[in-house]
Amino acid sequence: MDIPWAALAPIIVLALAFVVYCWFDISRNDVRYLPKWAWALVCLLSVPLGGVVYFLGGRDPGGGP
């Protein structure tokens, strides 16, 4: 089976960029329900659902710098 890497490369790059953005946001803002390290792990292990869950429920809207 031949994997079409040229077609998958943009998807992989976007997924990695999303995880990095989530980590950056986690490091700069306050979070709810879980510690920061747990949110970082959730975002990494379940791309993109973990990041979406973090932005919808885990991010503290009143916190941060």
pLDDT for the residue 65: 64
pTM to 2 decimals?
0.87
Rounded CA-CA distance 30/3 in Å is 40
25 pLDDT above the threshold of 80: yes
At 26-64, the pLDDT tens digits run 999 999 999 999 999 999 999 999 999 999 999 998 766
Q: How confident is the model at residue 7 (pLDDT cuts 50, 70, 90)?
A: very high
Closest CA to 42 of 65, 59, 29: 59
Rounded CA-CA distance 44/5 in Å is 21
Per domain, the residue ranges of the chain are: 30-65
Q: What are phi and psi of 61, to 5 degrees?
A: -65, -25
pLDDT for the residue 13: 96
